[in-house]
Amino acid sequence: MKFLSRSEELVLMMISKVEGDVYGVLLKEHLEKVTGKYWSIGSVYVPLDRLESKGFVKSYTGEASSKRGGRSKRLYEITDEGRQQLTEAQSLYEKMASYQPLV
């Protein structure tokens, strides 16, 4: 893998920021809030699945909402490998920012 993709990075960053239970719909809400753009539910779960299959997050089944709705949540947490990827992504941007392309 060359780099974390855009949506993988944003989703992973958000997972690392949210405290307490982290689940798909909550991530969608926060991502919409911070980016000011619409996120379809698929555009959250697809990268989530991919992040999990790459080992950057792990998930387990949580309890159902205490609110009206029914279905139980899938809760996510970032792994050590996931944190490392975020660090590398940040480092890439720092390198880019300070790069002097001398000819």
Partner DNA sequence: CATAAGTTCTATAAAATAGAAGATATAAGG
Partner DNA sequence: CCTTATATCTTCTATTTTATAGAACTTATG
Which residues here bind its own copies, judged by CB under 8 A? 2-6, 10, 13-14, 17-20, 26, 30, 33-35, 37, 92-93, 95-96, 99-101, 103
Q: Which is nearer to DNA, 67 or 95 (CB)?
A: 67
Beta strands in the chain (DSSP E): 57-64, 72-78
Residue 91 contact, options its own copies, DNA, none, Cβ 5-8 Å cut-off depending on partner type: none
Which phi and psi angles does 72 have, rounded to 5°? Answer: -75, 155
Q: How far is the CB of 71 from DNA (least distance, A)?
A: 3
Could you give the dihedral angle defined by the CA atoms of residues 91, 95, 93 and 13, in that order, rounded to the nearest 10 degrees? 0
